[in-house]
Structure 1
């Protein structure tokens, strides 16, 4: 039997390389957190309908058998129209390039333009040029996403002529209904 306390403290060594002097080495905000913060290294403005690649200035050596999942921060998702694209995004153990976070602004595309944008903390921020209403600015140093290290089993695929029967069968999207 695995000692519960030892399993709770399981740590995976992950090498991190700063590719930019302003990059922030990840850290967990609180004990027991599953995700560690990923921080933007430059200011980026995201207009409604846009998807932007936000650099972190970091590269990772994820151990074989693991992945780095890039996930949204719940506060940003709850308070803004910014979403981490294709969350969770996977950083494979063989990738050694810069980890960037793809962020979508899902706000409706407006007809008027303003000279201010919202920061991810909700405050208004003035900009030099007109931006569409509903634009957000991610500032250098903002915590924009979280990373989670997850174990990845490797599948052994076996081609067969048929699959076992189940109650659900081939019922796909919506087949189980919406009511509890």
Structure 2
């Protein structure tokens, strides 16, 4: 088993008062991100909320902005672009696109409320090699809910829908 050493990530505060991302509990994968401005979202509304930080990730790494399960469960808040990808070469402020999916209640965010979590991961570079036909697999081209269905009649064409009477 390899030792899990922290990865050094350079961080700059765009807002000098913003707390740095931190892990709430030992073993957490995501560090909490906060918003630097207040916002109120009516049902169905979305907003781009600033986090007040920017990063310089090492080559071979990316950061992914994930939703917070507590906000989803309590308030119906989701991230529109989830997970959001922060590439190693990006140096701008990290911003989070939130949406209020609750059909009735308005959601309010105050300055420094936790809005998302940041997961930093090593990512592989790949070389794409075009072929005329892909090798077979146990799954084949089944997708979009085909796992656990009997037979292979699932239509996996992108954008198609099946309706059964």
TM over 0.5: yes
Aligned counterpart, 2:105: 134
Matched, 1:93 2:88: yes
Aligned residues: 150
Instruction: Give the alignment's TM-score, normalised by structure 1.
Output: 0.78
Give unpaired runs (5+ residues) of structure 2. 151-165
2:116 to 116, 125, 145: 145
Shift of 1:22: 2.4
Aligned counterpart, 2:125: 154
Instruction: Give the alignment's TM-score, normalised by structure 2.
Output: 0.85
Aligned counterpart, 1:164: 135
After superposition, the CA RMSD in angstroms is: 1.6
Aligned counterpart, 2:41: 46
Shift of 1:167: 2.8
Aligned counterpart, 2:154: none
1:104 to 99, 108, 111: 99
Shift of 1:53: 0.5
Aligned counterpart, 1:127: none
State the Cα deviation string for residues 107-154 of structure 1 (Å, max 9, x = none).
22xxxxxxxxxxxxxxxxxxxxxxxx5111110011111101011001
1:27 to 14, 22, 25: 22
Distance 1:176 1:82, change over 3 A: same
- Paired residue secondary structure (2:130): coil
State the Cα deviation string for residues 68-88 of structure 1 (Å, max 9, x = none).
110111211111111122221
Q: Which deviates more from structure 2 when the two are superposed, residues 17-26 or residues 50-59?
A: 17-26
1:175 to 140, 143, 146: 146
